[in-house]
A and B are shown apart, each in its own frame.
Chain A
Amino acid sequence: MSAGTLYDKVWELHRVADLPGGSTQLFIGLHLIHEVTSPQAFAALRDLGLTVRHPELTVATVDHIVPTTSQARPFADPLAEAMLATLEANCAEHGITLHGLGSGRQGIVHVIAPELGLTQPGMTVACGDSHTSTHGAFGAIAFGIGTSQVRDVLASQSLAMNKLKVRRIWVEGTLQPGVYAKDLVLHVIRTLGVKGGVGYAYEFAGPAIDALSMEERMTLCNMAIEGGARVGYCNPDATTFAYLQGRPHAPAGEAWERAVAWWSSLASGPDAVFDDEVRFDAATIAPTVTWGITPGQGIGVDESVPTLEQTPAEERPLAEEAYRYMDLVPGGPIAGLPVDVCFIGSCTNGRLSDLRAAAAVAQGRRVAPGIKAFVVPGSEQVAAAAEAEGLDAVFRAAGFEWREPGCSMCLAMNPDRLEGRQISASSSNRNFKGRQGSASGRTLLMSPAMVAAAAIAGHVADVRELVAVAPSSPSDR
């Protein structure tokens, strides 16, 4: 059993009570809500005659259903309009801060909470969205929940939870130019499988993790859930503190010094005990692309789609389903596969450093004829920062559309979607059948720089050939 890890320490600090069923009542320090998974929770609260226990620890935004072309109200889609209106009414009734459209702070929930300094080390963070694991980048214990649990957090600021085991993912070496945190996490999931992390929290540690920027750590932790791990985290360090200092909700003055001391004390110690450990070498990882219908079906861009013979027996039915659905020939190269749509954005890769990496590839080049390519900043703040340094102009000049912030085509609960059997190069997190809005649409997951390279080439291309030395994180390293 794990001991002395950040996960153990934060768990103990937030333990409210042991419940008769055997689970633990865990206090939730930050509850993030959005329009998709909260309306039924507020309705249930009303039915139970309860109210929101800590509205000041609850923060809302709107992201999944917002259009990314025109965000004028009312939305053209009456269902989307009804969902936002319901969120607005619920927040007003219960005194919850809503970072709405045009506030300057709206965006994808997992982008705005970090950039506002709401997410901090040592917190427990819950949200009705599986990619809540993103916030673990700060050394928080953050996890996705369902709507009944959203109701529970609203009512009690706590949840009935069972403690996870902790697996340390130790990464040595240095990511090569053109290889990003997205490639690292796709490589981890490819190696450990999409259910390898079930029952575990993933602690990402080691020299390669220490060298990552906060935005890269967020990309990494964001996709822990795609490897089955509900929680993924990095230990807080100087990089974490430098990111947080000066943000609107970060402590300041003397409180800052006390905060840094407390945060530092939470990191997994040298004598921490883990339930399991797996080691990787960052230097051996290539730009990685998914070829199939789960995030675990990934290969290096210089590799070929695995044949049935190369696939373990228990994974063969899924591989055969993927060949059929994706219309791919086993044994064929992934590089050169034509794409129709190129999407840069999402809670995985919609931050400023992601847009910079993609813009570095797009700079001075043109999107290939017939390709629809678009960039969706993760938040209004990301959009403003990108525009201030001219990234929007770089993308537009190259033939990309520059959109308004939202979840967009990651899950297509808005007008952005694939049509028919279109195939996308996507910087998002899921390549499930039908995920991007067409029941037969196909998705290739990759880094934002690789999406830009695919847009320029018109097919899957190795970004290392387009940008000889692309700094993987020019933003805040």
Chain B
Amino acid sequence: MSTLSTPVAAPEPFPAGPVQRLQGRGLAVVGNDIDTDRIIPARFLKCVTFDGLAEGAFADDRTELAGAHPFDRAEHQGATILVVNDNFGCGSSREHAPQALMRWGIRAVIGESFAEIFFGNCLALGIPCLTASPADAAALQRAIAATPAALLRLDLEALRVQLDPQASAGTSASASLDLPLQLAEGPHRMLVSGQWDGTSQLVAHDAELRATASRLPYLAGFAA
């Protein structure tokens, strides 16, 4: 293979460790009650790995809009921050939904509200789902539509997002939007501290797990 070929931008690595600051371009998917069947239709769930799921993200909506869906528009390719509305991710518990978004490139979601299982599935991947007021979410969506190249700066510690229409990565200018975000205390701490991937923590509580199991009568067959 030629060493002179055009360098290809490395894809964003999947989240690992503390999630404190993110910056990147945004894209907006507008509408309430967008369910996980729409985020990833069931036929894409016929798989034994998550590897190929990016192409399934919003597949039917994208077909319907014939190239006009935000996930297809040229100006949004490489965007990393998804801005949505109310009750995003309702329906099926399929982790394939956040997996598809993550593999497409999404690293954070900002919205009016999220369905519970979707929120938890994102958290388990290190993808924060941050809540904004309806007015702020709509303002952010309008600003992204007006200036797709604008840079979003997400500060997880301060729980704020700034949108800077002048900046591209590496430069700084005054932000034209600076909005507060909300995140429940537990998930906030888990993301910022990097403890969102908790399997090892759960496994480590061996004695506590044994103690709990020993006080559940159904595990002993209700023996006297």
**A positions within 8 Å CB-CB of B:** 13-17, 19-23, 25, 27, 29, 36-37, 39-40, 43, 48, 50, 53, 57, 64-65, 77, 79-80, 82-83, 86, 120, 122-123, 128-130, 132, 144-149, 151-152, 155-160, 162, 194-195, 198-199, 225-226, 228, 230, 251, 254-256, 258-259, 262, 294, 314-315, 317-318, 321, 411-413, 430, 432-435, 437, 439-440
Most chain A CB within 10 A, of B125, B190, B209, B224, is at B209
Given known contacts A27-B213, A27-B216, A413-B42, A439 and B60 CB-to-CB distance under 8 angstroms: yes
Number of interface residues of B (CB under 8 A): 67
Some 24 contacts from A to B, beta carbons below 8 A apart, are A19-B201, A20-B189, A20-B193, A21-B193, A21-B196, A22-B185, A22-B186, A22-B190, A37-B93, A40-B50, A53-B209, A77-B46, A130-B92, A130-B93, A148-B121, A160-B198, A195-B33, A198-B113, A255-B222, A294-B33, A318-B32, A432-B35, A434-B37, A437-B42
- Distance (Å) between the CB of A65 and the closest chain B CB? 7
Given known contacts A259-B218, A434-B37, A439 and B95 CB-to-CB distance under 8 angstroms: no
- Which residues in A have their C-beta under 8 angstroms from that of B43? 412-413, 437
Choose the segment among B1-9, B14-22, B68-76, B83-91 that binds chain A (4+ C-beta atoms closer than 8 Å): B83-91
Cβ A39 vs Cβ B49 within 8 A: yes
Does B184 lie at the interface of the complex (its beta carbon under 8 Å from any beta carbon of A)?
A: yes
Cross-interface CB contact of A13 among B48, B93, B215, B222, cutoff 8 Å: B215
Given known contacts A194-B87, A251-B222, A157 and B60 CB-to-CB distance under 8 angstroms: no
Given known contacts A156-B209, A228-B87, A434-B37, A151 and B49 CB-to-CB distance under 8 angstroms: no
Rounded to whole angstroms, the CA-CA distance of A130 and B205 in the bound complex is 27
- Distance (Å) between the CB of B167 and the closest chain A CB? 32
List residues of B (165-196) whose CB comes within 8 Å of A's CBs.
184-187, 189-190, 193, 195-196
Nearest neighbor of A77 in chain B, beta-carbon distance = B46
Cβ B117 vs Cβ A195 within 8 A: no
Cβ A434 vs Cβ B222 within 8 A: no
Nearest neighbor of A412 in chain B, beta-carbon distance = B42
Does B55 lie at the interface of the complex (its beta carbon under 8 Å from any beta carbon of A)?
A: no
- Distance (Å) between the CB of A58 and the closest chain B CB? 13
Q: A22-B189, A29-B219 are in contact. List 8 more A-B contacts (CB 8 A).
A: A21-B193, A29-B218, A156-B205, A159-B202, A228-B116, A317-B31, A413-B46, A435-B37
- Distance (Å) between the CB of A264 and the closest chain B CB? 13
**B positions within 8 Å CB-CB of A:** 31-33, 35, 37-38, 41-43, 45-50, 60, 63-64, 86-87, 90-96, 98-99, 113, 115-117, 120-121, 124-125, 184-187, 189-190, 193, 195-196, 198-203, 205, 208-209, 211-213, 215-219, 221-224
Cross-interface CB contact of B212 among A14, A128, A147, A432, cutoff 8 Å: A14
Cross-interface CB contact of B202 among A29, A80, A160, A198, cutoff 8 Å: A160
Most chain A CB within 10 A, of B60, B198, B202, is at B202
Most chain A CB within 10 A, of B50, B124, B185, B189, is at B124
- Which residues in A have their C-beta under 8 angstroms from that of B211? 16
Given known contacts A262-B217, A433-B38, A36 and B203 CB-to-CB distance under 8 angstroms: no
Cβ A29 vs Cβ B216 within 8 A: yes
Rounded to whole angstroms, the CA-CA distance of A19 and B198 in the bound complex is 9
Cβ A65 vs Cβ B216 within 8 A: no
Cβ A432 vs Cβ B91 within 8 A: yes
- Which residues in B have their C-beta under 8 angstroms from that of A432? 35, 37-38, 91
Nearest neighbor of B44 in chain A, beta-carbon distance = A413
- Distance (Å) between the CB of B36 and the closest chain A CB? 9
- Distance (Å) between the CB of A180 and the closest chain B CB? 23
- Distance (Å) between the CB of A403 and the closest chain B CB? 18
Rounded to whole angstroms, the CA-CA distance of A190 and B127 in the bound complex is 31
- Which residues in B have their C-beta under 8 angstroms from that of A86? 48
- Distance (Å) between the CB of A38 and the closest chain B CB? 9
Cross-interface CB contact of B41 among A15, A294, A439, cutoff 8 Å: A439
Cβ B115 vs Cβ A195 within 8 A: yes
Nearest neighbor of A56 in chain B, beta-carbon distance = B219
Cβ B221 vs Cβ A79 within 8 A: no
Given known contacts A21-B198, A48-B199, A318-B31, A120 and B218 CB-to-CB distance under 8 angstroms: yes
Cross-interface CB contact of B209 among A64, A158, A199, cutoff 8 Å: A158
- Which residues in A have their C-beta under 8 angstroms from that of B87? 194-195, 198, 228
